[in-house]
Structure 1
Amino acid sequence: MTQQIELLTRLMPPHPGAGETVDWGPLEQSWGVRFPGDYKEFIARYGAGAISDYVVIFSPECRAEDGAEPAFQGVEEETLNAQQLWSAKAPGGAGSDRVIVWGFDSSADILCWHVAGDDPDGWPVMVWNQDDVAWQEYPCGVVEFLCRVLDADFDECPLGGLTLWGNAAPRFLHRDEERRLRASGLDPWTGELDPFAGMFGA
């Protein structure tokens, strides 16, 4: 795993201030699973944010208590939505397996783990491809999946758009840095003045 995160770091250097410290113990207890090690390394080095204004990576939150609403556009809410698609369209039938969301993209594809088995480091990536209206499994973890997309190392792009496919200069922005740049009146992805700054609130 460490080798994969080092490769991703060379392909996409994190900016100063990126990365998050997560107390995984209570978080994993609330989900009833351990999260994959490579994903933990990604969060420690990059944190939650976006890649080239196309793919968004979540940092998980503890699940809501019984009867409470999950966080808006958080891992739990997006997982509930994805699980409905999984129950209806899982290859070979959903059975007792489930999915947990770790990201999505601007093409409305949903990026998940297939929670199959007790070893989270063996969970494959599942992509709900909105164009194909189907799930596709990729037998690798999050970090390897991102590296292979950036290297164009699958038979075809797993995502609905080609923004990251073979991208030699991908850029990651932590969500807080993106907000800071927007608040300063800059477009976070071009560095130019944002003509819409201040029009829609913070």
Structure 2
Amino acid sequence: MSASMQRLEEVLGEPDRVVVPPPWDRSAAETGIVLPQDYRAFVDRYGSVRICNDLLVWSPSIQFDPHGFEKFVRASRFAEEDILLAYEDKEEDIPFEVHPAPGGLLAWANNSKGDYCFWHMVGEDPEAWPVVVWIQDDFKWDVVDATTTEFLADVITGSYGLANDILTRIQGAPLWKHEGDWTGRF
């Protein structure tokens, strides 16, 4: 287990159930994309989760679609639509393109306010992809040189500068809850 995954597990605690992990070897075959290892380790341990009843960390799933990895990648199109709607006639101000554009963004989390977390798919090594955060209300983009699990731990602990923008802490809400796994079960 990586140090960042261990730190995140210390923050989140033990999962309350065993999840069915995705068959990661199918990802490259279905989409041509190998997702970052620390993200895969997180999903293998926790599945898809909602943090503080707000930030949803996505996970590939075959619920409603037998092509779970393709569905996961296609979900970035919803993020792209939200970005285009927000920028209306100012598309030239959008600093990134979304996958399938070469070096584009691939979404992996969002919150109730329409903010998104992406990987910036620059280079061949998914372990080197930075996290990109888009805060919709402020048209704010932030590139974070961190792995997925480092970033999530920093958001949850509040050490990431925009943590309060992307994570609304609801009084009495659980720190996290299971939202699904490869099979889609909750």
Is 1:75–2:72 an aligned residue pair? yes
Q: How do residues 143-182 of structure 1 correspond to structure 2 at under 5 angstroms?
A: 143-157=149-163, 159-163=165-169, 171-176=175-180
Is 1:132–2:132 an aligned residue pair? no
Displacement of 1:13 = 1.1
Correspondence for 1:190: none
- Check whether the contact 2:22–2:61 (CA below 8 A) recurs between aligned residues: no
Correspondence for 2:107: 101
SS at structure 2 position matched to 1:103: strand
Displacement of 1:135 = 2.4
Aligned residues: 167
Structure 2 letter corresponding to 1:79: S
The higher-RCO structure (CA 8 Å, 6+ apart) is 2
* CA spacing shift, 1:23–1:156, aligned 2, 3 Å: closer
Q: Percent identity?
A: 25
Gaps of 5+ in 1: 63-67, 181-202
Gaps of 5+ in 2: none
Specify the structure having the higher radius of gyration (Cα): 1
Distance 1:122 1:54 in 2: 27
TM (norm. structure 2) is: 0.75
Distance 1:154 1:49 in 2: 19
* CA spacing shift, 1:158–1:33, aligned 2, 3 Å: farther
SS at structure 2 position matched to 1:34: coil
Displacement of 1:170 = 5.8
Distance 1:76 1:105 in 2: 18
Displacement of 1:57 = 1.1
Displacement of 1:18 = 4.1
Distance 1:7 1:106 in 2: 26
SS at structure 1 position matched to 2:75: helix
Structure 2 letter corresponding to 1:80: R
Distance 1:175 1:160 in 2: 18
Structure 2 letter corresponding to 1:128: W
Correspondence for 1:19: 19
Displacement of 1:143 = 0.6
Displacement of 1:61 = 4.6
Correspondence for 1:57: 57
